[in-house]
Structure 1
């Protein structure tokens, strides 16, 4: 999780807590070490966020501190992105127009660090149904796409052969039959799509491709002949997201 997102989550956790939160508790929830929590709390206090407490005792947020009227976590923004995509299935032109208005309003209100999924064009739902047959925790995948973090996949290809892949995930598609990860495959040296029901294990790696995600998505979209963000041009034909690996 990037530091900006982590600071926001830390504020949310302290605002909602009914008792002092220890650094150990906060570190476990945010999947970081206690030293990181100490540094983050000190940074927030320096920004004027009214956090009281100290190491070994716990931290509390002073009453009365409020965030802006509309403030969503990154997971909540990603939920909005997928919901807006699903509206394409309704065939309702009015709802589609309203969806774009909602998107614009959220972009105007939220900081770019939180609303990034609205710009990235990295989540998509196909028009005809929602796949549920997946062996993958898509939360891990979404985070990897967002943080530009590499994944290790143990994958069974369409011929039944098992291979281990190191991939750079750039998009997650909620397809009719299964969740599909679109990624640059380091083994194949090309874009590939990986069906969730063929993945035997999926884990994040301590390796990143930060700064490359947007460029890779543009290259992938160029291969498809699709304008960024214009998924409606695909109609109801099969989404050609690159070769099944």
Structure 2
């Protein structure tokens, strides 16, 4: 987790807490070291976020400090609830956990009348849920798309042949049966789709294609267009 995201998460944890929260509790929640939490809290206090407390006794957020309010209509809240429920049907375990955290944060931030949309539990998304991605970590793929980092794949094609591919991932599409990585394949020199259930191994390379993502996505989108009759 990047530091900016971690600082935001710490504020959210303290804002929703009803009693002091220790650095150890925050560290366990965010899966970082206690020392990192001490540094983060010191950084937040330097930014004048009113966090009080100390080591051994826990931390609280002084009343009166809050992030900008979330202003949603009833229909917008219902759209959010249903969208979060649909994430349960993907094979992306990290996104499922993120959906639960989003629900908790929004429920704690919105006014009581809107909070009833969450508490009522009246909207559901039924249907087939995709299995876990198995050998591939979809969170790794999403980070590679964001950071424009190349990935090294062992990929099994439709005929059962396995090839080694260096790809430049630009998008991730979730289907009911699997997730598809859209990427520029350096072996084929073209945009290709890679089914997650055919990936036998996926590793980051440490090599980047900074600044190329938008151009490659445009190539991908242009490939959707079908020529007009007679064109």
TM-score by length of 2: 0.56
Q: Return the alpha-carbon distance in structure 2 between the equivalents of residues 64 and 172 of structure 1.
A: 40
* 1:53 aligned counterpart, secondary structure: strand
* Change in CA separation of 1:66 and 1:141 when aligned onto 2, cut-off 3 Å: same
Residue in 1 aligned with 2:36?
36
Residue in 1 aligned with 2:50?
50
* Change in CA separation of 1:53 and 1:175 when aligned onto 2, cut-off 3 Å: same
Q: Return the alpha-carbon distance in structure 2 between the equivalents of residues 166 and 2 of structure 1.
A: 26
* 2:27 aligned counterpart, secondary structure: helix
Q: Return the alpha-carbon distance in structure 1 between the equivalents of residues 207 and 59 of structure 2.
A: 32
Q: CA RMSD in A?
A: 3.9
* Change in CA separation of 1:57 and 1:163 when aligned onto 2, cut-off 3 Å: farther
Note if contact 2:170-2:217 (Cα within 8 Å) is conserved in structure 1: no
Match runs of 1:136-155 below 5 Å: 136-148=136-148, 151=151, 153-155=153-155
Note if contact 2:181-2:195 (Cα within 8 Å) is conserved in structure 1: yes
Shift of residue 63 of structure 1? 2.7
* Change in CA separation of 1:70 and 1:219 when aligned onto 2, cut-off 3 Å: same
Residue in 2 aligned with 1:74?
none
Residue in 2 aligned with 1:192?
192
Residue in 2 aligned with 1:209?
208
Gap regions ≥5 residues in structure 2: 72-78, 87-126, 227-231
Q: Return the alpha-carbon distance in structure 2 between the equivalents of residues 28 and 35 of structure 1.
A: 12
| Superposed CA offset, 1:17-65 (max 9, x none) | 2343333332333233333322221121112211112344432222332
Note if contact 1:191-1:220 (Cα within 8 Å) is conserved in structure 2: no
Residue in 2 aligned with 1:3?
3
Q: Return the alpha-carbon distance in structure 1 between the equivalents of residues 16 and 132 of structure 2.
A: 33
Residue in 1 aligned with 2:105?
none
Shift of residue 188 of structure 1? 5.8
Q: Return the alpha-carbon distance in structure 1 between the equivalents of residues 222 and 132 of structure 2.
A: 28
* Change in CA separation of 1:46 and 1:208 when aligned onto 2, cut-off 3 Å: farther
Residue in 2 aligned with 1:225?
222
* Change in CA separation of 1:54 and 1:187 when aligned onto 2, cut-off 3 Å: farther
Q: Return the alpha-carbon distance in structure 2 between the equivalents of residues 160 and 149 of structure 1.
A: 27
Q: Return the alpha-carbon distance in structure 2 between the equivalents of residues 150 and 196 of structure 1.
A: 16
Q: Return the alpha-carbon distance in structure 2 between the equivalents of residues 138 and 45 of structure 1.
A: 35
| Superposed CA offset, 1:127-146 (max 9, x none) | xx998255255444334433
Q: Return the alpha-carbon distance in structure 2 between the equivalents of residues 21 and 169 of structure 1.
A: 39
Residue in 2 aligned with 1:171?
171
Note if contact 1:131-1:178 (Cα within 8 Å) is conserved in structure 2: no
Residue in 2 aligned with 1:13?
13
Shift of residue 196 of structure 1? 1.7
Q: Which has the larger radius of gyration?
A: 2
Number of residues paired by the alignment? 174
* 1:52 aligned counterpart, secondary structure: strand
